[in-house]
């Protein structure tokens, strides 16, 4: 299924970063990833761009966006997000 975002929207898929070793406190408690506050952003790959000419990213670009932005969808058993162009914080070059 092909998805073409409209207007100033962008279709992205989260890029899986290599897993880090589990963090263990001095008392032996293992801290899960969900307990860490540092993951307030997502690294994603642009899969499709909307129809507006002011979009500054292209298909294949890697971008950084807020972890709370966009609408999550599932297509062909793959999780994706449709986000607004303004929610892109940076482009990775």
Question: Tens of pLDDT along 44-62?
Answer: 999 999 999 989 999 999 9
8 Å CB contact between 53 and 71: no
Give kind and range of the element (H or E) at residue 5. Answer: none
8 Å CB contact between 88 and 61: no
Q: Kindly state the greatest CA–CA separation across the chain.
A: 55
Query: What is the percentage of the chain residues whose pLDDT exceeds 90?
Result: 59
> Measuring CA to CA, which residue among 21, 22, 5 is closest to residue 13?
5
Q: Considering the entire predicted model, what is its pTM?
A: 0.76
C-alpha distances (whole Å) from 9 to each of 18, 32, 34 are 28, 33, 28
CATH of domain 1-15+40-93: 2.30.33.40
């Amino acid at each position: 299924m092909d998805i073409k975002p409209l207007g100033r929207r962008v279709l992205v898929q989260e890029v899986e970063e290599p897993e880090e070793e589990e963090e263990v406190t001095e008392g032996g408690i293992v801290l899960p990833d969900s307990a860490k506050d540092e993951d307030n952003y997502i690294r994603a790959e642009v899969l499709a761009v909307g129809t507006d000419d002011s979009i500054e990213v292209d298909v294949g670009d890697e971008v950084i966006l807020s972890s709370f932005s966009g609408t999550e969808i599932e297509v062909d058993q793959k999780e994706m997000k449709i986000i607004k162009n303004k929610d892109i914080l940076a482009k990775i070059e």
